[in-house]
């Protein structure tokens, strides 16, 4: 009897402890990072974010556009790292190519593929002040001498001389990958077709379309209120 008297409270304590453990709430699963969900549309444009996002934002951008570089830098913390990451906004990037340097940058960024496109785009815009200046001077000095070479060969030379290709190597792109960026005329033609379609729709860059309607005013501080009004959270 004495042994039973000693064991009984212990058994009861174990039952209570087990019940307390069973009643502990389960941890909620980590929220999905939609900014890593990147696919290519039939047009060739890259789509970044939740396909079911309430806000569908189209960005018409040019890599040699200074205002575009400012927009990408200003908007990233709230747009890409906030609204897109949480899944309330999906971004479609449509290229509006303006010049050979722009075409070279676009070919390299797109060559990074779905996983690398966003990072390559941000890096290219962040370093625009350097490669755009160097590349523009080099192109003016060498354009005539390059005329006899195929267009992709000219753009490849421009990529190296401007610093764009070295920038991509710094992001982890191999030389073989860079060579491939300038090897397929179909890639160039597809990008040129996208650019032509863009310029038939817009008058300048950056231009934004929110759920099918042009808006945003060309700047992040005017675009964000419209995104929030459309449902960005």
| Domain containing residue 161: CATH number | 3.40.30.10
Q: What is the mean pLDDT of the chain?
A: 91
pLDDT at residue 24 in the model: 65
Q: Domain range for residue 87?
A: 36-230
Burial class (CB in 10 A: 0-12, 13-18, 19+), 148: exposed
Find where tokens 């005013």 sit: 217
pLDDT at residue 152 in the model: 98
| Residue 22, pLDDT above cutoff 50 | yes
| Residue 6, pLDDT above cutoff 90 | no
Q: Mean per-residue pLDDT for 153-168? A: 98
| Residue 16, pLDDT above cutoff 70 | no
Rounded CA-CA distance 93/147 in Å is 31
> CA of 110: how far to CAs of 8, 82, 91, 206, in Å?
71, 23, 15, 18
| Residue 18, pLDDT above cutoff 90 | no
Residue 10's pLDDT band (boundaries 50, 70, 90)? very low
- Would residue 20 count as lying in a domain? no
pLDDT at residue 179 in the model: 98
Q: Mean per-residue pLDDT for 208-225? A: 97
- Would residue 2 count as lying in a domain? no
Rounded CA-CA distance 73/65 in Å is 13
Residue 25's pLDDT band (boundaries 50, 70, 90)? low
Rounded CA-CA distance 60/50 in Å is 19
- Would residue 26 count as lying in a domain? no
Going by C-beta distance under 8 Å and a sequence separation of 6 or more, which residues neighbour residue 159? 104, 107, 108, 165, 178, 181, 182
- Would residue 221 count as lying in a domain? yes
| Residue 205, pLDDT above cutoff 50 | yes
pLDDT at residue 30 in the model: 75
| Residue 224, pLDDT above cutoff 50 | yes
pTM of the model: 0.86
pLDDT at residue 23 in the model: 61
How many helices and strands in the chain, by DSSP H and E?
11, 6
Of 12, 104, 60, the closest CA to residue 202 belongs to 60
| Residue 3, pLDDT above cutoff 70 | no
Q: Tell me which of 10-14, 47-51, 108-112, 200-204 is least confident.
A: 10-14
> CA of 99: how far to CAs of 68, 132, 204, in Å?
15, 11, 14
- Would residue 95 count as lying in a domain? yes
Q: Mean per-residue pLDDT for 23-33? A: 74
- Would residue 173 count as lying in a domain? yes
- pLDDT top residue among 9 and 49: 49
- Would residue 149 count as lying in a domain? yes
| Residue 17, pLDDT above cutoff 90 | no
Q: Mean per-residue pLDDT for 192-206? A: 97
pLDDT tens-digit map of 65-112: 999 999 999 999 999 999 999 999 999 999 999 999 999 999 999 999
How many domains, the chain?
Answer: 1
- Would residue 21 count as lying in a domain? no
């Amino acid at each position: 009897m004495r042994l039973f008297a000693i064991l009984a409270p212990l058994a009861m304590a174990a039952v209570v402890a087990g019940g307390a453990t069973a009643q502990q709430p389960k941890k909620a699963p980590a929220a999905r990072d939609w900014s890593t969900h990147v696919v290519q549309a039939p047009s060739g444009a890259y789509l970044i974010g939740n396909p079911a996002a309430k806000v569908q934002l189209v960005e018409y951008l040019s890599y040699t556009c200074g205002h575009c570089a400012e927009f990408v830098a200003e908007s990233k913390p709230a747009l890409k790292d906030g609204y897109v990451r949480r899944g309330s906004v999906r971004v479609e990037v449509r290229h509006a190519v303006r010049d050979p340097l722009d075409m070279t940058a676009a070919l390299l960024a797109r060559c990074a593929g779905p996983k690398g496109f966003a990072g390559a785009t941000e890096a290219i815009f962040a370093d625009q002040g350097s490669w755009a200046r160097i590349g523009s001077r080099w192109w003016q000095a060498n354009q005539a001498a390059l005329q006899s070479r195929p267009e992709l060969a000219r753009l490849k030379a421009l990529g190296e001389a401007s610093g764009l290709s070295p920038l991509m190597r710094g992001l982890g792109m191999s030389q073989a990958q860079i060579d491939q960026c300038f090897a397929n005329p179909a890639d160039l033609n597809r990008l040129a077709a996208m650019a032509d379609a863009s310029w038939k729709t817009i008058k300048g860059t950056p231009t934004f379309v929110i759920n099918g309607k042009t808006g945003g005013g060309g700047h992040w501080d005017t675009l964000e209120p419209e995104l929030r009004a459309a449902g960005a959270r």
